Amino acid sequence: MLYRCEVCGKYYEHSGLGRKPKTCSPECAHERNITRQREYWLIYKDKINSERIQKKIKKKLPKENTLAEINELAREQNLTYGQMQGVFYCQEHPIR
């Protein structure tokens, strides 16, 4: 059977047994691999860079109060931990 090379466009013959090669020679196969790697990097590098930026932003954000700190604030106001969490939730999500 005749097939067409994806890289150079030449026609080449293959017996039809096994998996069909996409290129006519090892040189074309190497070139195809290089271009596919470049395409992959161009597509996914923005995603990778945005994930790195998000990680840096998360590190810079102030840490939230720990359980012990919240419990201490609650005890000062004669509330339980759960009631204090409810107060925080209501502050973050006010009713319109």
For the chain, first and last CA: distance in Å? 72
Q: Which pTM does this prediction carry?
A: 0.45
Q: Calculate the alpha carbon distances from 11 to 20, 28, 30, 85 in Å.
A: 13, 13, 18, 71
Residue 11's DSSP bridge partners are 4
Q: Calculate the alpha carbon distances from 37 to 20, 64, 72, 76 in Å.
A: 21, 42, 55, 60
What pLDDT shows up at residue 59?
A: 65
For 60, residues 6+ apart whose C-beta sits below 8 A from its C-beta are none
| pLDDT, tens only, 1-53 | 788 888 888 888 887 777 878 888 889 999 999 988 888 887 777 777 777 76
**How confident is residue 62, by pLDDT bands cut at 50, 70 and 90?**
low
